[in-house]
Chains A and B, each alone.
Chain A
Amino acid sequence: MAAFIIRRLLVSAVLLFFISIISFFIITLTPGSPYPWGELNPKVSEEVKRVFREKFHLDRPLHEQYAFIMRDLFTGNLRSIKDERPVLEKIAERLPATLLLNIGALALSLSFGLMLGIYGARHAGRPPDVITSVIAFIFIALPGFWVSYLVAIALVDWAAVPILGTHTIGVAFTNGAQVFLDRWWHVMMPASILAIGGIAVQSRFVRASMIETLREDYIRTARAKGLDENAVFYRHALRNSIRPLITGIGMLLPALISGAVIIENIFAYPGMGRLGYEAVLERDYPTLVALNFVTAALVLVGNLIADMLYAVVDPRVRLE
C-alpha cells in the first residue's frame, strides 16, 4: 500500500509538471496581453508600459516567463498582474466561500438525488417513476443561468428578499440565529441552482444501479428467505448500489474548489469561478497558472483517494 502511494505520488509530480507546462502555454497562446489600465488610457505612457512589462517579465521569451512563474509559485512570491497581491493569498481568500457554496450544492444533489433515485427504483415502471424521470430530464436540460434569473426575479418580485452576495447588507442583526439563517439563505440560493443538474444526474445513477442490483441472485435469495421488502431494499440492495456514488467522491475534491462562473456572477457570490473568469479577461497569467496548478493537483489527489477508497469498499480491488 505504502509503495503504491509513493509510486503514485511520483507519477503525479511528473504529470503535474507537464500539466503546468501545457496550461501555461495554452494560456499565453491566447491572443491579447495584459493591460491593467482600463480601456485605452491616454495617460499611460510608453515608459510606464515598459516598466510594467519588465516587472512581470513579459518582455522575456515564453520559456523564461514560465520559469519565473514556477519559481515564484514555489517560493510563494507569485504576484497577480492585476493588483500585485500574492496569488496564493487571493486563492485562499476565496476558498471558504467557495467551499461553503460547493458543499451546499453537493449536499443538496447527493441527498435529493439519492431520495429521488430510490423512489424511482422502488416504483420502477409505474407512474411515480415516470414522473420523477421526466422531472429529472427537465432538470438536466435547464440552463443554470436562465433558472437563476427566473428564481432571482421571482424572489424579488414576490417576496422582496435580498439574494445577492453572502449576506444581507445594511441591517442590524439581533441575534446569532438570524446571522446563521441569513448566511444559510444566501448560500442555499446559488447552491440549489448549482445542484439542479446534480440532483437529476445522481437520481438517474442511483435509480439505474438500484434496478440492476434488484435483479441480482442474492436479492432473490433474500426475498425467498421471506425478508420483509424494506429490509431487502435498504439493507441488501442499497449498500451495493451506492458504489457509483462512492467512486464519485474522488471527483468531488476538485469540484469543491472550482467555481461556478455564471452562477457566481449572477448572485454576486465571491467564489473561485469569478477569480478565474476575471483573470482570463485580464490576461492575469500568474493567477491563471496558479489556479490551474492547484486544480490539477487536487484532481490527481482526488484520483488517488478514489483508487484507495475503491480498495476499501470493494474487496475485489487490490492495490499493488
Chain B
Amino acid sequence: MTKKQAIKRKVKEPEPTNEQSSASEPSDNEEDDDLLQAVKDPGEDTTDDEGIDQEYQSDSSEDLEFESDEEGNYLGRKANNEAEGDAEEDEDDDEEEDEDSDEASEDNDDAEEEKPSSSMTAAVQTKVEPIIQIIPRDPSKPEYEDSDTSDEEDIRNTVGNIPMHWYDEYKHIGYDWDAKKIVKPPKGDQIDDFLRKIEDPNFWRTVKDPQTGQEVLLTDEDIALIKRVNSGRIPNAEHDEYAPWIEWFTSEVEKMPIKNVPDHKRSFLPSVSEKKKVSRMVHALKMGWMKTTEEVEREKQKKRGPKFYMLWETDTGRESMRRIHDPVSAPKRDLPGHAESYNPPPEYLFDEKETKEWLKQKDEPHKRKLHFMPQKFKSLREVPAYSRYLRERFLRCLDLYLCPRAKRVKLNIDAEYLIPKLPSPRDLQPFPTVESLVYRGHTDLVRSVSVEPKGEYMASGSDDKTVKIWEIATGRCIRTIETNDVVRCVAWCPNAKLSIIAVATGSRLLLINPKVGDKLLIKKTDDLLAASPSLDVIDNERIKTAVQWSNAEPEEQEKGVRVVITHFKPIRQVTWHGRGDYLATVMPEGANRSALIHQLSKRRSQIPFSKSKGLIQCVLFHPVKPCFFVATQHNIRIYDLVKQELIKKLLTNSKWISGMSIHPKGDNLLVSTYDKKMLWFDLDLSTKPYQTMRLHRNAVRSVAFHLRYPLFASGSDDQAVIVSHGMVYNDLLQNPLIVPLKKLQTHEKRDEFGVLDVSWHPVQPWVFSTGADCTIRLYT
C-alpha cells in the first residue's frame, strides 16, 4: 500500500499549487472541469458545483450538504495534509457506514468531522468552505486520471482485491487502515429482508457494498447518474458538449463591408464568354445537335420500350436453331358450348337438383359436369364480369409452365370396334332358341341328366334319391327308380346296343337297365349283365379295398338295378368310354384312389394312378384315342392309357374347374370353371387356352358339346344356359370359330344355384338343362 500511495502523493503534490495559483482554490488536482467552469462562471461557483455534486454524489438534498461537507473536508484535508490521507479515508469510510446505519447521529458526525478539519488548519478551512461544495466526491475519478490502477480506489478495507467470500466464515470482513477488524454488519435472514422489502420504501434503492458489507442507500442523483451512464450519455447533465460556440459569421447585417475593395467593372457588364456559350447552345438546339431535357426524357422513354422488326422473313421458312428437345405444344383450351352462352337455350340452365349437386361438389370441382354454372341474362348490359376469369387465366398459365407434357396417342374409336367381327347368329342356325318343354316331377334339385343314344329317352338323377326316366317328346316320366342315397350323376351308356344307365348314388355305382325302348335290346342287356364272368386275374389288395362288384339284390333287381359296384368313398361323377365297355368314376375324397376305371365285360376295376396329383374334379375318356383326361382343381392332365404315361398338362389359370367336355373329334376341349370362365383348349395348339370366354355372370357348372352340330352349351349359377357355335375346321390352319348364339334364361334361382347340368340331344339341336328348381327343361 505504502508505495503506491506515496507515488500518488508525489504526483498529486504539484497540482494543488497550480490550481491554487490560478483559481486560488485548494481544490483537488483532478478537477480540471471545475476549473474551466470556474473560469466561465466564477460567480455561480457554488450552485454549479452543487449540481455536479448532485450528479456524482447521489445524495438527497439534506444529505448533500452534509456529504459534500464531509467530502470537502476530507478532500480538503487530503490536499492539505496528505500524510494523513489514509487515515482520513478510513475515517470517512466509517462515517459513511454510520450514515447508513443511523442517520440520527449525522449531526454528531458532522461535528466530529468538522472538528478535525478545523483543528488542522483554520486558515484553509475558511477558504475551503465554498470549495467543499465545488469538489465533487468522486474518489475513483481523480485516481483514474492519475493512474489506471483500480487498487487505489477509496478503500477502507485493506484486504485487497480478493474474493470476499473468503471472509464468509468470519465475523469480520477485513481490516481497516488501523488494522482493526471491520465487523460485518448484522445480516438479517430472508424474513427480515422480506419485511424490509415491504416496510422500507427505499428498499429498492438499497445496495450492498461488497467491500464493507454495508448497505448503501442510493440517492436520486445516484440513480439519475446510473441511468445516464446506462443509456450512454455523458454522466454530467449540466455538461454542454457544444459549449464554446463562437459565431464567426454573424447573421446581423453589418453596415460596413468586410472587404474594402470596390466591385470590378466586369461584374456590371454581361459576360461575353457566357454569351458565346449561350449562343452556341442555342445554335446546337436549333441544329438538333443538342436536346432539351424534355426531349432527352422522351427519347429515353422511346428507347425503353421493345423494338420490333421483321423477325420471320417468310411464313413457313425455318432457321435451324437449337430448340428444346422434342417440343410438345400445349393443347388449346376447349371452345365454349351452348351452355356458356350469356343467353343459352333454357334446357342448359341448371334446375334445382343440378344446382345443388354442383354446389355440393365444391371441394372436388373436377367432378362437376360443367366448370361453371350456366346463367341466363335478359340483355347484354346485365352481364357482369366473370368472377373466376382471373383465376382461370392464372390456372392456364400454371398449366403452361408447370404441367408435365407427353405425346400420347388418343384413342378415338367406337366401342363397337372392339367387339370381334363374328357372323350373325341367324346364319348359324339351327340352334335352340326357345324353351319348349319342362319336365317336372323331381322334388329336389336335379343334379344330372343323360340322354339315350337314340334320343328318345332321358334319365335324370336328383337329390331326392330317385332316378327318373323320361320320354323326351312328351315330357312323361316313364319310370322312377328309388335309390338309397343322393344321386350325383347318371350316365346313359353311349353304346346304342346296350341299354344301361350308370347311376352314382352315394358310394355305390348302380348299373341299371331302364327297360325302355327295344325289347330285344333290354333282354340282351339283361343277359349280358346277369352272366358274371370268371375272374382269371386276381385283383390286388389296393383295388379290393376300394371296389366290390356284386349283383343287385332281388328287390333292387325289380327296379332294374343289375350290378352294384360299391366304392369306398362317395362317388361324384361317372363317365362312359365311347364304346360302352369301360366306365370311370371319380371319388374326390379317395386321395390317390380317387379315379377308377371299371371294365364291364370283365367286371374288373383298375386304379390308374398310384399318386394323387390334386383334388380330382372330373375325368373324361377321349372319344377316339386311348386317352384319359383328369381335371384337378387347377390343371388338366392327359394320360395315354396304353403307354400309361402323361401326355400333356393343360394350364387353365383358373381357381377351380367344375367340368369339361371334349369335342367329338377329340382335338378340342372345353372346360368350365367356378370363376365364371369357360376355356377352349385346342389340344394341338398349346397347353394354354385358345380362348377364354366370360359369357356367364356366375360360376359355370357344366359344359357340353353337341355330337353332330357345331354347338356347345354351358349352364351356370346365373340360371342361364348359353348356346354357342363352336366350329372346328378340318383345315388345321384355320382356328376354331366361336360365336355365342343364344342366352336361354328360364330356370329359377334357388339357394344360389341355377343350372346344374346341360346335355345335348344326340341327334337334334336340342339342349336339356337341369336346375335347382327341380325341373329339367328342353330348349329347341
Q: Do A and B belong to a common assembly? A: no
